Structure 1
Amino acid sequence: MPSTDLILKMMILMWITVMLFNKIADSAQTKGISQPNSMISADVGDNVILHCFRLGEENTNSVVWYKQKVGHEPWVIVTVQHEPKYENEFKPPKFNIEKEKEKGSFHLKIANVEPSDEATYYCGLRDFLTRFGNGTFLAVTGDGDVKVSVLQSSALNSVPAGASVTLQCSVLSESRAADLQVLWFRAAPPQSHPQIIYTHHSSSHQCESGSSTHTCVYNFSKNILSLNDTGTYYCAVAVCGKIIFGNGTRIKLKESVDPVVIFLAVALGVCMVVIFAHVVSCKERSCEYCSGRSQDSMVKKIPNQSRDAVELNFAASHVNKKRGKKERAHDNVYTEVMYSPLS
């Protein structure tokens, strides 16, 4: 039977193993589904495609598209196993699943975009639970009467924690800068829609005026301290009751190993070594006990004054000769005592 100490160590080992795998699973919770575009912009009447990829060649789980308007609960649009199954409010030709030749693509096509289509669209993967992609926010920008263009700098490379980044946004319009309101949004899970994080004041930009257009450059600086500061940053212009978004600048941290994962891995290794040493020690003690009882001779080591050891071998002999009625108790004697020095 295992000792109580060994059982306790085994329980600790199992707990550390579970915690380690849970930590690794949490760091990869969106694996299996991918939505590469966190935000797209479309004019009224446009046709748009929201991209979704099911990762893994062996992945055969159902894919589900959800629509969530700001302040409302999510609605199921379509479920795809082998063939798409659309909900009543989201029927073709308005909504369609567009499968490409490449395996694992389940793109949602929305035809003739209307203002009511502005929402966040989530692609989800159903297995035991539903795992969601990062979501795609569809911004409907109006009927095209507002002549404003928003250009952002290209995506930044991964930045180390604590670094400061400066994002740049150029706004081209037929209106004067004083008539425009420039905002910065940040979109990142688990938020359901982009959130306003900064509003430019009249003195926070540089403008150049041409014959018919005005170009203004807006800079936004941000310290990237942790994952809470990562995501896609959008420059947007509010004019005439409409919001025009830029293409977004994505910021992410340089990948590093989570210290908690390192600690759990080290603790797991230490526990395994301790338990292995405990098992080996128990086996050795058991073998010594068994071998000691099976010996037919007794071996003693006695040190003398010169620190030399002498081995005494006692060979027991049983005398079975009959001596009549006077057989005495000391007929069983040690017949031979041999002294030999230990090598």
Structure 2
Amino acid sequence: MTKILIVEDERMIADDIKYTLDQYGYEVSGIFNKGIDAIDNMSALKPDMILMDIMLEGELNGIETGEIILKDHDVPIIFLTAFADSTTVESTKDIAAYGYILKPFEAKELYATIEIALIKHKSEKKLKESKALSESMFTGNPEPCVYLNNDFQVIDINPRFKEFFGFSLEEIKGKEIDALIIPEEYETEATKLSSDTLSGYVYFDTFRKNKEGGILPVSISAAPIVIDGKSKGSFVIYKDISIRKKVEEEREKLIEKLQKSLDEIKTLEGLIPICSYCKKIRDDSGFWGNVEQYISKHSNVDFSHSICPDCLKEHFPDQYKKMKDKGNI
């Protein structure tokens, strides 16, 4: 149920308004004849709307009361007045009034004014929240962002854009973005990207330059701004990918190094000619050499020399016996 606060210094009129509101199913959250009392009770009552007489008794009139209330409370105010002259209306120009009701008024007139004001306030609140969310996503975005018009001229930038590229909004507003941050060798590419942005979403890794001419690796995300089916410009995000590029370069160097190591590895495969008697091996040039030489030449293997038990027994029988007795063989 919609709660309505009445601020009216004429008790009969206030009671008449309350009766009308009750008939239409509204809840009257309170009735005050002074502005200061309405201000003091706002937090406790939390009304959805205020019907405020402009000419109140006390130190504050209705307009002054409304201005103070709106500083801390988002609530629609409809002003009640016995005067419809331009001076009265002009006096409320600095406050967001949601309607005026001329006293005396009809019940249907009051009801219609209240309903229109509630709908207007609800719509404005949604629009305000949507705008606040959009601005928060833009200004608070951790990546450089820019709004462009259909001629790709700068409309607005976020703080991260200034930090990343070095330009302030005052320096570049109204200027073409390509003339500011496109390296010469990427001009053709940038022209195509701009064209693609007007017709759809763009995602592309490339390079841009900052105010000092330094080259910056970026990942561009861009999309058109479409309102009522018509393009009104574009929104572009420049994600800093310098760390990613560095990692990719280090990975490529590692892969290259590993490939080089693999290429240097020597392997033995295929049919190897070996003498049946002396066990020498013939290499590709026709030279016969011992097994050690051949394997060392065709692989990364080195040899250490020892003697097997059979050869030890045959050629060094005394040494064999000693080792046998000691249990070493």
Query: What range is the shorter-chain TM-score in?
Result: under 0.3
**TM-score, normalised to structure 2's length?**
0.23
Query: Which structure shows the higher strand fraction?
Result: 1
Of Structure 1 and Structure 2, the greater helix share is in 2
Q: Look at both structures and tell me which one has the larger radius of gyration over its CA atoms.
A: 2
